[in-house]
Structure 1
Amino acid sequence: MEDLKPWWTSKAIWTGVIGSIWGVAGAIGILPEGLSQTDVLTVVLALTGIGGVLFRKTATTRIG
């Protein structure tokens, strides 16, 4: 894992960004209509957390 890649090409970074965006959307109350804030945030944050770990585990290059 000696090769470096730009941060924006990291799947682990993007899962964190997506989770953060949904977290902010829930906090300021702009989730899609008809969806429970608690349910959406629980599912999205769980999936992005799992995705981040899996993507980091399968990474072949470092973020540089």
Structure 2
Amino acid sequence: MTETKPWYLSRTIWASAVAVLTGVAGAAGLPFDAADGTLITDTLLQGVSAVAGLIAIIGRLSAKDRIG
């Protein structure tokens, strides 16, 4: 495993964040299943990937210098 990726594309980070949030929500009285946490993680990861792609496209289109 020599390749790196940004932290926000890590499934582990998002799953951990969802686990913390669902734990807090459960303590506050909101019911959550394990399946809900998985669905939320997948949805968040897809959203982050889409936003990262858009930022990359916008950044490349607004760049002043060539890639060389």
Show structure 1 runs of 4+ deviating over 6 A: none
Structure 1 segment 25-44 matched on structure 2, within 5 A:
26-27=11-12, 29-32=15-18, 33-34=21-22, 36-44=40-48
Identity %: 22
Greater relative contact order: 1 or 2 (C-alpha under 8 angstroms, separation 6 or more)?
Answer: 1
Identify the structure with the greater helix proportion. 2
Q: Which has the larger radius of gyration?
A: 2
Cα deviation digits, residues 13-33 of structure 1 (max 9, x gap) = xxxx6xx31222x23532241
Gaps of 5+ in 1: 1-16
| Deviation of the 1:42 alpha carbon | 0.7
Gaps of 5+ in 2: 23-36
Identify the structure with the greater strand proportion. 1
CA RMSD of aligned residues (A): 2.6
